[in-house]
Amino acid sequence: MDSGLMDLAELEIKAAEKAAARAGGQDRLSGHIVCDGLVRIFRTEGVEVVALQGLDLVVDRGELLAVVGASGSGKSTMLNILSGLDEPTAGVARVAGFDLLGLSAKRRLEYRRKIVGFVWQQTARNLLPYLSAQENVSLPMKLAGSVKRDRALELLDMVGLADKAGRRPDQMSGGEQQRCAVAVALANDPEVLFADEPTGELDEATADEVFGALRTVNAELGVTVVVVTHDMNVAGQVRRAVAIRDGKTASEVRRSARIAADGTEEHVTEEYAVLDRAGRLQLPAAFVEALSLRDRVRLNLEPDHVEVRPSASGEQDR
């Protein structure tokens, strides 16, 4: 585990270097993906479902981010918008300079072909069953009219499938199929890779291999990666994980390694609440319960922090 986190730090540095090289300098790393007050309302048979209610998120170029949330929290809705499959009702969604609200059909096609790659949860949705792994990876390049010799094999090698290039999906395990799907999604060298529950159908050990492949392509290609999942354990697989609740980002966990005063290596996991532009934040449910907070709280501004206290008893009724 220890060396694992150091590896993560090294991989992150490598990914940032590759991404900066691609973008033309460090100063172009910030805000590769920006969601600001993103809203998506579905209307079906007179019923309105607010799937995203003012979601804020910034992902830098070359980052590998996990978005974690319960079923129905809005993860797929967010990814469908970011990958150009769906349009937001309101708010800002910008990826690699493309403003996804009100994109023309032509620009949308260009965006989907050149900028993003996508991996679905269902292994069967990612690959064509009658083609080999190598043919599956070559297909998007053929469709885009730019077959690069050896590129498919290079990508398969990167995800650890160099020796399975000739196999069809039914001759590969679920984890191998998903790693192959990562290679397919990267065939046309996208700037951003989205994966919706790519390990949802896999056991833990196999899921780790798929995450390993995502980390490798992030570091080797500098591609920005966003993975959504309901599995809280993935926070241990990435340096930054954002929690999404009821269509909003609620908190985030950052992991880092540092050298302590006595020279030993310490690992720090810090949890942050997300503060939106209007100054709103959500208290963790455990904090609310521990102090039986409800309806209103007292806030005090101290020189270097803000205090949140329950309102005095009786105050609530006045």
Ligand X SMILES: Nc1ncnc2c1ncn2[C@@H]1O[C@H](COP(=O)(O)OP(=O)(O)OP(=O)(O)O)[C@@H](O)[C@H]1O
Q: Which residues bind Mg ion (CB under 5 A)?
A: 76
Q: In this complex, which beta carbon is closest to Mg ion, that of residue 66 or of residue 155?
A: 66
Residue 46 is a binding residue for ligand X (CB under 6 A):
no
Residue 76 interacts with ligand X (CB under 6 A): yes or no: yes
Spatial CB neighbours of 269, under 8 Å, sequence gap ≥ 6: 253, 254, 255
Binding-site partner at residue 138 among ligand X, Mg ion, none, CB < 5 to 8 Å by type? none
Which residue, 42 or 287, is less far from ligand X as judged by CB?
A: 42
Chosen residue from 12, 37, 73, 250 binding ligand X by CB under 6 A: 73
Q: Contact with ligand X (CB under 6 A): which of 94, 113, 168, 230?
A: 230
Q: Is 83 in the site for ligand X (CB under 6 A)?
A: no
Q: Which of 49, 109, 144, 291 binds ligand X (CB under 6 A)?
A: 49
In whole angstroms, the minimum distance from the beta carbon of 229 to ligand X comes to: 8
**Nearest position to Mg ion, beta carbon:** 76
**Which residue's entry shows tokens 């398969």?**
156
Least distance (Å) between residue 39 CB and ligand X: 12
Count Cβ atoms below 10 Å from residue 185 Cβ, excluding itself: 24
Q: How far is the CB of 247 from Mg ion (least distance, A)?
A: 12
125 lies in the site for ligand X, by CB under 6 A: no
> Which is nearest to 42 in space by CA: 51, 29, 53?
51
Name the residue among 125, 204, 209 with its Cα closest to residue 169. 125
Stretch that binds ligand X, among 64-72, 123-131, 138-146, 168-176 (CB under 6 A): 64-72
Q: Is 136 in the site for ligand X (CB under 6 A)?
A: no
CB of 226 to ligand X, least distance (A): 13
User: Binding-site residue total for ligand X (CB under 6 A)?
Assistant: 13
Residues 161-190 that bind ligand X (CB under 6 A): none
> Could you tell me the smallest distance in angstroms from the CB atom of residue 50 to Mg ion?
16
- Binding residue (CB under 6 A) for ligand X from 71, 104, 292, 313: 71
Of 65-73, 138-146, 205-213, 297-305: span binding ligand X (CB under 6 A):
65-73
For Mg ion, the closer of residues 83 and 136 by Cβ is: 83
Query: What is the binding site for ligand X (CB under 6 A)?
Result: 42, 44, 49, 51, 69, 71-77, 230
